[in-house]
């Protein structure tokens, strides 16, 4: 579609959203949405001349006239099971094309002190408590994608954990794309407010029904108050024709601990930004990431860890595997503020190329303005270790199986950090299925 026609298309989309805003919508929200819409219209999609988008050309997204799905796609329990995690005992919210489908959701028996709601419902019934949570960590200026998410916001999840509350079972947010139309987009937003000393696991999980090729543009805002413990899974297992951009914002207070597990298996063009701000002493983040790119897939992950207070800790481990003509990017920025003494930051990025046509770029970026800190980073891109291959083969294991074992082991170093065994096992299976040479691997504990 021509640039003009596209601008026209998006102007109409913006207008439609503005017209669709119900009268009762509070001014703070209407204002934020207008601002975001203006920002998106003005900036358009990013292009590779911008430093942050140097390795990722979003042309395939920018040249399509996306619009929201118009009808509710049919969904079956069977399809849900196929996408889900066998054996996972979890609260569940299911979204299709960005809209909550309560008939497939199960939030029975939530403990006192925990609120889990659809965002659309929350905005319709009692929007004001969301004023400090929605769009306050994620700025429109961050990217036009974040702006678009705010401008076209329709639904999402709101999770609030009261002081000292412990959510025993994880909460599984299953965001499904349908094959509804040629160019549908959705803009789910996830808000997590983990109160003082609370403890929970939230699984943000993106998957597709067969044949989906839509664009999912997500924003997650996560606040961990003092002493909160949060485990956040960001699992992207879209169809290989789908587009996905996800921006995560984490803000942590004193002695809070957040663990992030970010796995990218599917998608045609995927970009993740994980932004973490450690604002008070004792705050600690663990970032674990794995991406697999094959075929013509492109997956780009940027993490930014901001040590803005002394005595804060980050542990980051990202791994990438490239096969076919896959293209991967990892850029990890660590910023230690002046005065953020006793920062302890470790970042490691390891990448494995299985084909001569695959490419992975990895780029650590450390900016340190304090002097009494421990910061370490390492980045490697390599091929399978020949000596290990030979060792396995010398034990009677054939070359194909040996290769599979080594690739799988490489990935599993990240996956084994997942606390939820059913999720880990299921991801391992899906990973193995995507590694032709590891097809024979039986996943044993």
Provide the binding-site residues for other proteins, judged by CB under 8 A.
386-388, 390-399, 401-402, 405-406, 408-410, 412-413, 444
CA 203 – CA 224 distance, rounded (Å): 16
Compute the least distance from the CB of residue 36 to other proteins, in Å. 43
**CA–CA dist 401, 353 (Å, integer):** 17
**Residue number with CB closer to other proteins (369 or 390):** 390
Q: Which is nearer to other proteins, 21 or 399 (CB)?
A: 399
- In angstroms, what is the minimal distance from the CB of 415 to other proteins? 10
Give me the least distance between CB of 132 and other proteins, in Å please: 43
Residue 410 CB, shortest distance to other proteins, in Å, is: 6
Nearer to other proteins, 11 or 409 (CB): 409
CB of 188 to other proteins, least distance (A): 34
CA distance 11 to 340: 44
Residues 6+ apart with CB under 8 A from 129: 122
- Measuring CA to CA, which residue among 178, 201, 246, 253 is closest to residue 223? 253
Residue among 181 and 404 whose Cβ is closer to other proteins: 404
Minimum Å gap between C-beta 260 and other proteins is 21
In angstroms, rounded to a whole number, what is the distance separating the alpha carbons of residues 147 and 168? Answer: 34
Sign of CA dihedral 243, 292, 156, 278: negative
Residue with smaller CB distance to other proteins, 150 or 414: 414
Pick the closer one to other proteins by CB: 43 or 397.
Answer: 397
Residue 303 has a CB neighbour count (10 Å cut-off) of 26
> DSSP labels for 261-329?
EEEE---SEEEEEEEEEE-STT-EEEEEEEEEE-TT-EEEEEEEEEE-SSS-EEEEEEEEEE-TT-EEE
């Amino acid at each position: 579609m021509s640039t003009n026609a596209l601008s026209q298309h998006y102007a109409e989309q913006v207008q439609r959203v503005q017209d669709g805003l119900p009268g009762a919508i509070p001014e703070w929200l209407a204002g934020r949405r207008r601002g975001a819409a203006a920002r998106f219209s003005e900036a358009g999609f990013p292009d590779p001349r911008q430093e942050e988008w140097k390795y990722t050309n979003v042309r395939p997204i920018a040249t399509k006239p996306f619009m929201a799905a118009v009808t509710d796609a049919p969904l079956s329990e069977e399809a849900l099971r196929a996408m889900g995690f066998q054996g996972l005992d979890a609260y569940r919210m299911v979204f299709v094309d960005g809209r909550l489908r309560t008939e497939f959701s199960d939030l029975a028996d939530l403990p006192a002190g925990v609120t889990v709601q659809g965002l659309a419902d929350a905005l319709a019934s009692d929007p004001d408590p969301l004023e400090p949570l929605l769009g306050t960590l994620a700025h429109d200026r961050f990217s036009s994608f974040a702006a678009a998410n705010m401008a076209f916001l329709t639904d999402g999840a709101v999770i609030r954990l009261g002081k000292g509350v412990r959510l025993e079972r994880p909460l599984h947010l299953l965001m499904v794309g349908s094959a509804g139309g040629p160019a549908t987009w959705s803009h789910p937003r996830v808000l997590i407010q983990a109160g003082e000393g609370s403890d929970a696991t939230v699984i943000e999980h993106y998957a597709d029904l067969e044949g989906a090729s839509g664009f999912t543009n997500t924003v997650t805002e996560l606040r961990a108050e003092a002493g909160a413990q949060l485990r956040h899974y960001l699992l992207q297992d879209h169809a290989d024709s789908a587009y996905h951009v996800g921006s995560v914002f984490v803000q942590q207070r004193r002695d809070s601990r957040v663990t992030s597990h970010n796995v990218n298996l599917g998608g045609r063009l995927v970009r993740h930004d994980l932004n973490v701000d450690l604002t008070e002493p004792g705050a600690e983040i663990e970032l674990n990431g794995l991406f697999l790119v094959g075929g013509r897939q492109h997956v780009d992950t940027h993490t930014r860890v901001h040590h803005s207070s002394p005595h804060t800790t980050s542990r980051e481990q990202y791994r990438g595997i490239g096969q076919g003509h896959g293209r991967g990017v990892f850029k990890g920025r660590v910023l230690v503020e002046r005065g953020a003494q006793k920062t302890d930051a470790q970042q490691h990025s390891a990448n494995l190329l299985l084909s001569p046509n695959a490419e992975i770029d990895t780029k650590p970026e450390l900016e340190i303005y304090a002097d009494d800190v421990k910061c370490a980073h390492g980045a490697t891109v390599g091929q399978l270790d020949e000596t290990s291959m030979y060792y396995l083969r010398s034990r009677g294991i054939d070359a194909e199986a040996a290769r599979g074992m080594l690739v799988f082991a490489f990935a599993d170093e990240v996956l084994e950090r997942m606390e939820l065994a059913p999720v880990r096992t299921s991801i391992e299976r899906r990973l193995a299925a995507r590694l032709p040479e590891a097809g024979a691997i039986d996943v044993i504990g």
